Amino acid sequence: MSALSSSTATDAGAGAALGMLAGVLACYAFAALGWVGLPAQAAFIAVLGCAAWALSALRDARAAWMLGVIGVLLVLALGSPSDGWDPRSIWLFHARRIFLDGSLYTQLDGYAPFSHNDYPALVPVWMATAAKVVGHWNEIFPKAAATLLLLPALLLIARSLRTWWVAGLFAVALLKVGGSYLVDGYMDALLAVYAVAALAAGMRAARAPVSGSGWFDLAAYAAVSAILCLIKNEGVVLAVIVAVGVVAVTLLRERRMAWGIPAAFALSLLPLLAWKLAVSAAHLSNDLAASDLSGQLMARLPDLAQSMLIVQKLLRGIFWVPLALMLVLWSRTWRTPVALAGLGVAVAYACVLYAVYLGTPHDLEWHLATSARRTVLPVLLLLMYALLVMVDQWNPAASRVAAGERNEQGS
């Protein structure tokens, strides 16, 4: 009976997560079609309904950890303003413009170029819709709405873990790594959580047959990947690396091609492609794309001091703990496909960050000082997740019993 109850709770949490993801994408699609009013608000309210449905997953201790964390974060988000430059000058600024003008594309007029008008507008339109549902603009409810977006991704991550205590450790790691970035309107912690969720959903989809629950896993992966691409420009880089990592590990460890992953990934790129076409039509670009990125990179590359400065700023503190443990326990890492994929994605994205900073058109020390602590969050959270999955699957038979799943050997 307890196993059946846990299975039902797990299904409810996963269903609520997919419903929330679909609602968020529907809200964005309505806004893209010019329906920022009632249709987008209806989608927002549907997401709130799915979030309420997720409470039925409290019987699953893995999901309970994530729901508890979100509850605490929402209270903090509702009880504190944001004084950060990025939240106020980019995300909340764009959200208020959408709220006032009633158009997803209002930022494409080129006004206030410091606000990175080329950035995807999914989170701003989600924030603006939250304000429309409330009935007036303030920065508290829109900011809290961004924090709510963590819930579906966390529920899918919880579903990928087998034991409640490992889910609890991941919740603690999330709070340690994300810190105030989870509630203050920055997008970097949200990006990190969706990168982990994309990896978790992608690995489940790659291993599941394309039937029954396999279709659910593919849909969840496609939805998470689509939102990951639309959070900020770095999202598409992470999404590509995750897709390549999942396919590569499946080929390497299982000697088969997971054709569903590239198909789902290609589908998830369509909303971003539509946005990029609109940006191109408005003749907008960003500071990195408009600069001589390769020239700046090659000019700094021979200077070892600058490379060491980047490595020092990116790879510090908690980064070394999961990395060292997975390398020391390499044989176990190799035998755990999700951990292997997580390690590969984290290292690959760290290399991308290194190249971007090496080619930055800005003063390197200033750029690192103002952003490195945030941009490295996906690397840190991916490494923590990979290590915890390795621990979670150390004794698979015992883990299945602890998670309340059916032990096929005893049936």
More reliable by pLDDT, 297 or 142:
142
Nearest to 185 by CA among 41, 107, 89: 89
For residue range 328-378, what is the model confidence (pLDDT) as tens digits?
A: 999 999 999 999 999 999 999 999 999 999 988 888 899 999 999 999 999
- For the cut 70, the answer to whether the pLDDT of residue 193 exceeds it is yes
Confidence at 7, pLDDT banded by 50, 70, 90: low
* Of 138, 133, 128, nearest in space to 45 by CA: 133
pLDDT of 401: 41
pLDDT for the residue numbered 8: 66
- Percent helix, strand, coil in the chain (nearest 5)? 80, 0, 20
Angle at 99 between CA 93 and CA 100, to 5 degrees: 95
**C-alpha span between 347 and 371 (Å, rounded):** 19
Q: What is the pLDDT of residue 285?
A: 79
* 301 pLDDT tier (thresholds 50, 70, 90): confident
pLDDT digits (tens, 9 = 90+) for 359-369: 888 888 999 99
Position 102 scores a pLDDT of 93
Q: Which pLDDT does position 9 carry in this prediction?
A: 66
Reply yes or no on whether the pLDDT at 290 is more than 50: yes
What pLDDT is stored for residue 409 in this prediction? 37
Instruction: Determine the Cα–Cα distance for residues 223 and 198; give it in Å rounded to an integer.
Output: 9
Q: What is the pLDDT of residue 398?
A: 42
Q: Residue 10: its pLDDT value, please?
A: 66
Judged by DSSP in three states, 14 sits in helix
127-149: pLDDT as tens digits: 999 999 999 998 899 999 999 99
